Amino acid sequence: MRNLTAVIIVAACVLLHASGVRASPATDEVLANVKMPPGFKLELFADDVPGARSLAIGANGTIFVGTRRDRVYAVSPPSGPEDKPIVRVIARGLNMPNGVAFRDGALYVAEIHRILRFDRIEDALDDPPQPTVVRDDLPKDRHHGWRYIAFGPDGKLYVPIGAPCNVCNESGYAVITRMNPDGTGQEVFARGVRNTVGFTWHPQTNHLWFTDNGRDYLGDDAPPCELNVAPRPGLDFGFPYCHGRNIKDPEFGHLGDCSRATPPVQELGAHVAPLGVKFYTGSMFPAAYRNQVFIAEHGSWNRSKKSGYRITRVKLDGERAVAYEPFAVGFKRGEEVLGRPVDLLVLEDGSMLVSDDYAGALYRIVYRATEP
């Protein structure tokens, strides 16, 4: 009987390892502490994804996860209600591969200095192919060097180049660029963007919306972080001379006039570190949430009392922001950090995926109508 018990335990461990799901006290604390509006619930999707950051979804439903460590994950959704997702490492030894994007069967991965492409990746999750180098001439600066990437409605790959500093005026930085899928034709799409680590496109107008992290060391409550809209190429969003709508930089303010910069569509909290941003385009949430903006606020590191560590919602009237409010709070408890939201992804069933690089997890936000 003792031998049979040992066999059962070993078999269970093998199954848990294969599924990529392990017990995690860290995620238990997040699930117990996060609060959302009535009817919404935060569920664990996978908790064996250390450093989980940027998200992309493949044609077959595979969730690809970038990190600021050295590896990229592929998470296969459960095949049945009693099954668990399978977590695989599909690339390792990379240089902070934060950005992931999927197009035409291929996974694009952005390291600090280059962009890779893994062809037919969903057919080879257990034996990934060697990647093709799309281009390898990106700046090598580690300060704001981890990149978020995504394909736009124009079929081009958007790649930001953050400022290599807290605040400075360096040529070729603080921009959002775009290029063809093969890496050719790179051009600057937007300027004056200190460091965006999340962007998306309006589901009706196709305008680019992006978050931007405000500069440090102007105090606890200044400057605001930003949610911006670029309806066309060529706009200047003010960095390094202007922050928020009208805060002139004490060192670089002479370089430009705030009135000439494109202002944010919504000023966000100071130091909240807004990263992933998505429009809700599913059908699970109530109608009032459709085509509204959700932002993952990673949380402050340089404020006397922590701010952020939550998911917020920006209410829109058309493309005009009319409110900025908390949606999911409780990734911290007082000053104790429990989790740090990074990116968001709307799934086919209408639920919303959330990555957390602090707890190393993916969560799923679901809505179930409550009884009156």
Structure-derived torsion over alpha carbons of residues 222, 214, 236, 67, reported in degrees to the nearest 10: -170
pLDDT at site 14 = 32
pLDDT at site 1 = 37
Rounded to two decimals, what is the model's pTM? Answer: 0.93
Nearest of 264, 51, 267, 268 to residue 146 by alpha carbon? 51
pLDDT at site 146 = 97
pLDDT at site 17 = 35
Residue 28's H or E segment, with its range, is helix 25-33
DSSP state of 280: -
Task: Inform me whether the pLDDT recorded for 8 exceeds 50.
Answer: no
Tell how far CA 185 is from the center of its chain: 25
User: Does residue 340 contact residue 358 with C-beta atoms inside 8 Å?
Assistant: yes
Handedness of CA 172, 173, 178, 183 (dihedral sign): positive
pLDDT at site 80 = 79
Task: Inform me whether the pLDDT recorded for 249 exceeds 50.
Answer: yes
Structure confidence at residue 241 as a pLDDT band (50, 70, 90): very high
Nearest of 83, 41, 14, 50 to residue 357 by alpha carbon? 50
The whole-angstrom separation of Cα 49 and Cα 357 is 8
Nearest of 170, 167, 189 to residue 178 by alpha carbon? 189
70-98 burial, b for 16+ CB within 10 Å, e for fewer? ebbbbbbbeeeeeebbbbeebbeebebbb
pLDDT at site 82 = 77
Residue at 366: amino acid letter: V
314-352: per-residue pLDDT in tens?
999 999 999 999 999 999 999 999 999 999 999 999 999
Residue at 244: amino acid letter: G
pLDDT at site 19 = 36
Task: Inform me whether the pLDDT recorded for 3 exceeds 90.
Answer: no
The whole-angstrom separation of Cα 301 and Cα 335 is 11
